[in-house]
């Protein structure tokens, strides 16, 4: 079998294609690119491919037992970890692209400020064309922020909160360790310490992958541990939050606000009560939007780097543990 790479992505520019072609040539691969409209052509081609760079369960399912590496252009790879049957080759390597930290961290800073500065209410005042500036607002500075998940997103959030003179930054991760410069976090704790930090948390940022351990991690009991002026921001995966309990806490003013970029289900049906929940900023899963040039450039860079690793027999840098889920 020839050594083929199938690339099926919507965001590539000419210079991205050239970079991938160069890396392929260097490593003895041939590569073909398919646009979003060419799914059927891609499915036919991928049968004889060793490498697939895409984010399409359907295309992955069409690959043969010769597929040895699937590079997913997304950061969240839960659909590929939950369903073994997607891989004809059970030993196929899976990598992801953790390149969304910058854009998602910018989203986190934005919605944090919008909640503290009462923008949903001021927006409503402006829509009515009235004039009032007496709603009390709060500063981001001097708060304690707790970041659940200290990967690419968590590190970028911590850096930006530091730049806004945040009081303290606590990170929580499975290992109790964080990537990035040591002084970004005041402390990094294992997730088992979550109950201890929630009562002091003013801003809770959730940036967790969807795994059996993270599902429902922000339970009703834990929401009750938050102070009444706390805000909750979820940019990881929807199932991490007990959504019913969160809606009750918001409508009952037990916490000050929330911003959900991920929820259950997505898309949210028209009649869902989340749409009407108080002090809640909803966004339709936009925080990791692929339109940032920077995000796309880094995505292609990561693939090309790992292609060199793959061809040389070195470990892939962005390898996912399919059983662990990230």
- Whether 266 sits among the annotated catalytic residues: the reply is yes
Question: For its own copies, which residue of 1, 28, 90, 129 counts as binding (CB under 8 A)?
Answer: 129
Catalytic residue among 266, 276, 314, 324: 266
**Which listed residue (237, 298, 318, 322) is catalytic?**
237
Report which of 282, 281, 283, 220 is spatially closest to residue 254, judged by C-alpha positions: 220
**Long-range contacts of the stretch 157-165 (C-beta < 8 A, 24+):** 157/104, 157/105, 157/108, 157/109, 157/205, 157/207, 158/184, 158/185, 159/105, 159/184, 160/105, 160/106, 160/108, 160/109, 161/109, 161/203, 164/109, 164/140, 165/140, 165/141
The 154-193 site mask, x for binding its own copies (CB under 8 A), equals -----xx-xxxx----------------------------
Look at the chain and count its residues. Answer: 326
**Contact between 125 and its own copies (CB under 8 A)?**
yes
Look at residue 63 and give its three-state secondary structure: coil
Pick the closer one to its own copies by CB: 199 or 284. Answer: 284
DSSP of 76-96, one letter per residue?
Answer: --HHHHH-GGG-SSTT-EEE-
Would you say 88 or 114 has its CB closer to its own copies?
Answer: 114
Is residue 229 close enough to count as binding its own copies by CB under 8 A? no
CB of 72 to its own copies, least distance (A): 18
CB 231 within 8 A of CB 255: yes
Q: Does 106 bind its own copies (CB under 8 A)?
A: yes
CA–CA gap between residue 178 and residue 162 (Å, rounded): 16
According to the binding rule CB under 8 A, does residue 275 interact with its own copies? yes
For its own copies, the closer of residues 183 and 321 by Cβ is: 183
Mark whether 285 is an active-site residue: yes
- Can residue 284 be called a binding residue for its own copies (CB under 8 A)? yes
Nearer to its own copies, 33 or 122 (CB): 122
| Tokens, residue 297 | 């450039």
247 binds its own copies (CB under 8 A): no
Q: Give catalytic residue positions.
A: 237, 266, 285
Contact residues for its own copies (CB under 8 A)?
102-103, 106-107, 109-110, 113-114, 116-117, 119, 122-123, 125-126, 129, 131-133, 135-142, 159-160, 162-165, 266-268, 270, 275, 282-286, 289, 291-295
């Amino acid at each position: 079998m020839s050594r083929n790479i199938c690339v099926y992505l919507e965001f590539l520019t000419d210079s991205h294609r050239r970079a991938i072609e160069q890396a392929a040539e260097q490593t003895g691969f041939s590569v073909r690119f398919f646009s979003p409209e060419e799914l059927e052509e891609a499915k036919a081609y991928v049968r004889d491919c060793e490498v697939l760079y895409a984010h399409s369960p359907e295309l992955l399912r069409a690959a043969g037992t010769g597929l040895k590496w699937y590079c997913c252009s997304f950061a969240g790879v839960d659909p590929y970890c939950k369903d073994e049957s997607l891989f004809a080759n059970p030993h196929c390597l899976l990598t992801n692209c953790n390149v969304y930290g910058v854009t998602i961290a910018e989203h986190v800073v934005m919605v944090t400020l919008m909640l503290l500065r009462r923008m949903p209410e001021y927006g409503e005042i402006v829509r009515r064309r009235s004039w009032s500036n007496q709603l009390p607002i709060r500063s981001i500075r001097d708060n304690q922020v707790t970041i659940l998940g200290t990967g690419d997103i968590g590190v970028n959030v911590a850096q930006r909160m530091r730049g806004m003179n945040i009081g303290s930054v606590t990170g929580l991760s499975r290992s109790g360790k964080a990537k990035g410069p040591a002084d970004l976090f005041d402390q990094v704790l294992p997730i088992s310490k979550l109950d201890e930090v929630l009562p002091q948390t003013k801003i809770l940022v959730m940036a967790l992958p969807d795994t059996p351990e993270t599902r429902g991690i922000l339970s009703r009991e834990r929401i009750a541990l938050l102070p009444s002026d706390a805000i909750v921001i979820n940019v990881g995966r929807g199932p991490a939050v007990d959504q019913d309990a969160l809606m009750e806490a918001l409508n009952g003013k037990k916490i000050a606000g929330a911003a959900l970029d991920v929820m259950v289900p997505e898309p949210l049906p028209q009649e869902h009560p989340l749409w009407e929940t108080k002090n809640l900023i909803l966004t339709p899963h936009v925080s990791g939007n692929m339109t940032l040039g920077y995000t796309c450039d880094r995505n292609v860079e990561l693939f090309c780097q790992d292609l060199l690793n793959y061809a040389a027999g070195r470990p892939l840098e962005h390898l996912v543990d399919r059983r662990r889920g990230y």
